Amino acid sequence: MTQPALSLDASPDLRSAFAADVRAGLTHTPQKELPSKYLYDEVGSALFEVITVLPEYGVTRAEERLLAMHAADIVAHLPHDVTVAELGSGSGRKTRRILEALCKKRPTSYFPIEISRAALQLCRRELGDIERISIVGYERDYLAGLAEVSKNRSADERLLVLFLGSTIGNFGRLAATRFLRDIRNMLAPGDALLLGTDLIKPTPVLVAAYADSIGVTASFNLNLLARINRELDGDFPLEAFEHVARFNPDARSIEMHLRAKRDITAHVGAAQLTVSLKAGETIWTESSHKYRAEEMPAIADDAGFVCSHQWIEKEWGFAESLLVAK
């Protein structure tokens, strides 16, 4: 067995960017907000792994079922010499089937891209037993990491970008298309993107998936304020906030908020910020937009791709779409 090596690039100083994003989000009007990417520190990543096995949250299990059934078929539609980069690898559990199918054919280089060092470490442990794989982790934002991978590949290598889970749903509709265009601009014709999308389903099912009965998602959401307290010298009173999940039918998205249970004034030293919230006021922390499978060809075309193949898991409602760069 070949033991994969994990090389972790030197992390840039993300603290100042975190502070700047917190300041911008909490002074945004009329709706205070915080970027969802900051939910995933070491604690948040661990809590999200728990969320993925909760009975109410079917997204991860649906994708795992789909990849278990179709990984060989997906790989059969890829170029022979392909290097794999994954945006937001998490623990890597959902990626295993694709990598195993690739490594059965040839040695494969895999580049997980995460802003969470803890997630990269989980990924290393999860995928460490796959033979004929080389793992190089990038502690970067998605596009910065992808730019590094694309720049460093050899001229004869094709690139497969994995954007699994339902992370594209965290972008608004127009922002999602812009993000896909940004990815396309780093690719060569013939490179591919495997894109996971959670499909629209009845509202009670969607809301329950983001407001589980034992409160794990609430802890995940509240940890964002706890992280600000830990890392940015904040003093948010966590007990004064509650987790709220609600469906926005116009956007076809679930929104997660943190709602103040009383009037609150808090300080964030590293952001040089004092913020006040009235009772009932919320901080918007995440959106998860839901798609229809038949939308994907038009979205792909608008972003510079062709949707060449699509696989759908019907029990929960989840799609993987293979987009090939034009």
pLDDT digits (tens, 9 = 90+) for 133-145: 999 999 888 999 9
The answer as to whether 2 is a domain residue is no
Cβ atoms of 84 and 99 within 8 Å: the answer is: yes
- pLDDT for the residue numbered 115: 81
Kindly state whether residue 3 falls inside one of the protein's structural domains. no
The two three-digit tokens of residue 113, written as one number: 């891209």
Q: Residue 229: its pLDDT value, please? A: 98
Q: Is residue 313 part of a domain?
A: yes
Residue 4 lies in a domain: no
Q: Which residues of the chain have pLDDT under 70?
A: 1-12
Q: Are residues 72 and 117 in the same domain?
A: yes
Query: Please, what's the b/e burial string for 73-110 (b: 16 or more CB within 10 A of its CB; e: otherwise)?
Result: ebbeebeeebbbbbbbbbbbbbbbbbbbbbbeeeebbb
Nearest to 157 by CA among 191, 125, 133, 120: 191
Residue-range definition of the domain harbouring residue 144: 57-201+290-325
> Do 147 and 246 share a domain, yes or no?
no
Tell whether 47 and 62 lie within a shared domain. Answer: no
Whether residue 214 is contained in a domain is answered as yes
| 27 and 105 housed in the same domain | no
Is 10 part of a structural domain of the chain?
Answer: no
Surface-to-core class of residue 34, CB atoms within 10 Å of its CB (0-12 exposed, 13-18 middle, 19+ buried): buried
Residue 326 CA to residue 320 CA, distance in Å, equals: 19
7 lies in a domain?
Answer: no
pLDDT of residue 94: 87
pLDDT value of residue 124: 87
- pLDDT of 9 reads 43
Co-location of 192 and 316 in the same domain: yes
Contact 284, 31 (CB under 8 A): yes
Residues 75 and 165 occupy one common structural domain = yes
Has residue 5 been placed in a domain? no
